[in-house]
């Protein structure tokens, strides 16, 4: 028992130590797992065991979808799709109070859903919308805050790489079901952010967008259809059973490449840089996944999931209280940890509790986890989307803390609704027989 306690202490304090000295998160996770192995394992060789766990953890056909979706996102980010979606969003919501703020949210929802990347969405939409909103008199801090928070909606609305990662961490929950479950929560989050933006804009008397003539509106709609059709092709094909999520990701690459070439925003000479960026991003993501899987195995070896489960159940047997505690833990984790390792590490800890003890569907819990960690992407000190949003708007992080608070409240309100009203996440999957 003493050895187990020592191993757990080494795991916790070594991980915190590496984070404090500025070690990249993937290395912090891997090194803390390795340190725990060196202390706790008497019979197993630590270095070879860690290497084996990291390598075997990546042997999943589903994970092959991630580099394909990353490449598709890179092509879309370079292919003029963001501008067309923004113009389409102006047709839908531009005339409402705070028109450009609502356009920002709508465009982020659409672009994030198509690209599957919150970072790409915050960069692409923010680069275009920030100057426009500033020109129309919108406060720069408010514009950046709404861009940062709405960029995360694309991680709930499919296709989403992080839902694929959750499928792996949960032991094989259907990716198609997870994709379907993300629609309503993602859209609901977008609507909540729009309401906050509209109220703020109304109080500040920000202008609405100019009325778009009918013919121009039709043209903007038609221009956006090819981009929007990718969602129909990818998600429709998965639901209809025509192809797997991995095959859908490959189709998304071909579709986005053809679209970018048709739009003439990408030429053959641009492809090497796009592919290099994809390789770089994929390498970082896969290293995170591999080291997180190694750490997850170490935690299982140390019986940490069982210990946490027993500890939570000893605090209360009330499902409401347990879910509140789990949400608070995940919100706290999201502040300090990137989304991918958080999903891989904490899914094996909390999923058995909520399924066996509380009767939650694994699909439902996956959406709860993603909504929690979305908040962390927008919070200092390690919120990656927050950093990108500040960079695009040329602002300091401290400038956004106050403007972000109402949007945090909106995101957490949706999280609580989804947590305690399962049908918000489960209605569409059930309608399709999952």
Residues 58 and 290 sit within 8 Å (Cβ to Cβ):
yes
pTM: 0.86
Q: How far apart are CA 110 and CA 223, in angstroms?
A: 14
Q: What is the pLDDT at residue 261?
A: 82
Q: How far is CA 101 from CA 128, 199, 215, 249, 412, in A?
A: 12, 11, 24, 31, 20
CB-CB neighbours of 247 under 10 Å? 17
Number of H helices, E strands in the chain: 20, 0
Q: How far apart are CA 88 and CA 212, in angstroms?
A: 11
The sign one gets for the Cα dihedral 273, 238, 86, 163 is negative
Which residue, chain included where needed, has tokens 């990108």? 388
- At what angle are helices 384-393 and 140-151 packed, to 10 degrees? 140
Using the 8-state DSSP alphabet, how is residue 357 labeled?
A: I
Q: What is the pLDDT at residue 26?
A: 85
Q: How far apart are CA 284 and CA 296, in angstroms?
A: 18
Q: What is the pLDDT at residue 107?
A: 87
User: What's the longest Cα–Cα distance across the chain?
Assistant: 75
Residues 322 and 312 sit within 8 Å (Cβ to Cβ):
yes
Q: What is the pLDDT at residue 365?
A: 96
Q: How far apart are CA 135 and CA 42, in angstroms?
A: 65
Q: What is the pLDDT at residue 43?
A: 66
Residues 221 and 91 sit within 8 Å (Cβ to Cβ):
yes
Residue-level pLDDT, tens digit, the chain, 434 residues: 344 677 788 888 898 898 888 888 888 888 998 988 888 776 678 888 888 888 888 887 778 888 888 888 888 777 677 778 888 888 888 777 778 888 889 888 888 777 777 887 888 888 888 888 888 888 889 999 999 999 999 888 888 888 988 998 888 888 889 999 999 999 999 999 999 998 988 888 877 767 778 788 888 888 888 888 888 888 888 888 888 888 888 898 888 888 888 877 777 888 888 889 889 888 888 888 888 888 888 888 777 777 887 788 788 888 899 999 999 999 988 887 888 888 988 898 899 889 988 889 999 999 999 999 999 888 887 777 888 888 888 888 888 888 999 999 999 999 999 999 999 999 999 998 87
**Short-list 237, 251, 262, 227, CA closest to 107:** 227
For the chain, the distance separating the N- and C-terminal CA atoms, rounded to the nearest angstrom, is 43
Q: How far apart are CA 294 and CA 356, in angstroms?
A: 25
Q: How far apart are CA 10 and CA 6, in angstroms?
A: 6
């Amino acid at each position: 028992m003493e050895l187990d306690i020592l191993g757990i202490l080494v795991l916790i304090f070594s991980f915190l130590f590496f984070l404090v000295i500025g070690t990249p998160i993937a290395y912090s996770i891997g090194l803390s797992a390795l340190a725990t192995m060196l202390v706790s394992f008497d019979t197993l060789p630590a270095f070879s065991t860690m290497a084996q766990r990291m390598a075997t953890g990546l042997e999943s056909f589903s994970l092959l979808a991630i580099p394909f979706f990353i490449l598709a996102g890179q092509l879309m980010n370079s292919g003029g799709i963001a501008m067309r979606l923004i113009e389409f969003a102006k047709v839908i919501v531009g005339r409402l109070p705070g028109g450009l703020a609502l356009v920002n949210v709508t465009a982020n929802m659409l672009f994030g859903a198509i690209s599957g990347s919150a970072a790409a969405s915050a960069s692409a939409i923010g680069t275009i919308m920030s100057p426009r909103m500033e020109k129309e008199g919108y406060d720069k801090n408010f514009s950046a805050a709404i861009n940062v928070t709405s960029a995360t909606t694309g991680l709930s609305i499919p296709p989403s790489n992080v839902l694929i990662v959750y499928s792996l961490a949960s032991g094989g929950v259907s990716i198609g079901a997870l994709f379907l479950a993300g629609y309503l929560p993602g859209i609901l989050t977008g609507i909540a952010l729009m309401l906050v933006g509209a109220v703020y804009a109304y109080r500040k008397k920000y202008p609405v967008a100019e009325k778009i003539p009918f013919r121009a509106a039709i043209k903007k709609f038609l221009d956006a259809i090819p981009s929007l059709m990718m969602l129909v092709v990818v998600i429709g094909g998965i639901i209809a059973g025509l192809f797997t999520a991995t095959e859908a990701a490959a189709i998304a690459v071909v579709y986005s490449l053809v679209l970018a070439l048709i739009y003439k925003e990408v030429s053959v000479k641009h492809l090497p840089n796009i592919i290099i960026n994809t390789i770089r991003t994929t390498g970082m993501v896969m290293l995170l996944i591999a080291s997180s899987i190694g750490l997850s195995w170490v935690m299982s070896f140390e019986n940490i999931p069982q210990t946490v489960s027993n500890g939570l159940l000893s605090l209360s047997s009330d499902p409401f209280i347990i879910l509140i505690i789990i949400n608070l833990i995940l919100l706290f984790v999201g502040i300090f940890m990137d989304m991918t390792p958080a999903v891989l590490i904490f899914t094996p800890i909390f999923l058995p509790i909520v399924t066996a003890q509380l009767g939650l569907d694994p699909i439902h819990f996956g959406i709860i986890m993603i909504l929690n960690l979305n908040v962390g992407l927008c919070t200092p000190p390690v919120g990656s989307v927050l950093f990108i949003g500040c960079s695009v708007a040329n602002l300091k992080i401290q400038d956004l803390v106050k403007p972000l608070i109402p949007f945090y409240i909106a995101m957490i309100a949706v999280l609580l609704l989804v947590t305690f009203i399962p049908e918000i996440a489960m209605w569409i999957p059930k309608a399709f027989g999952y």
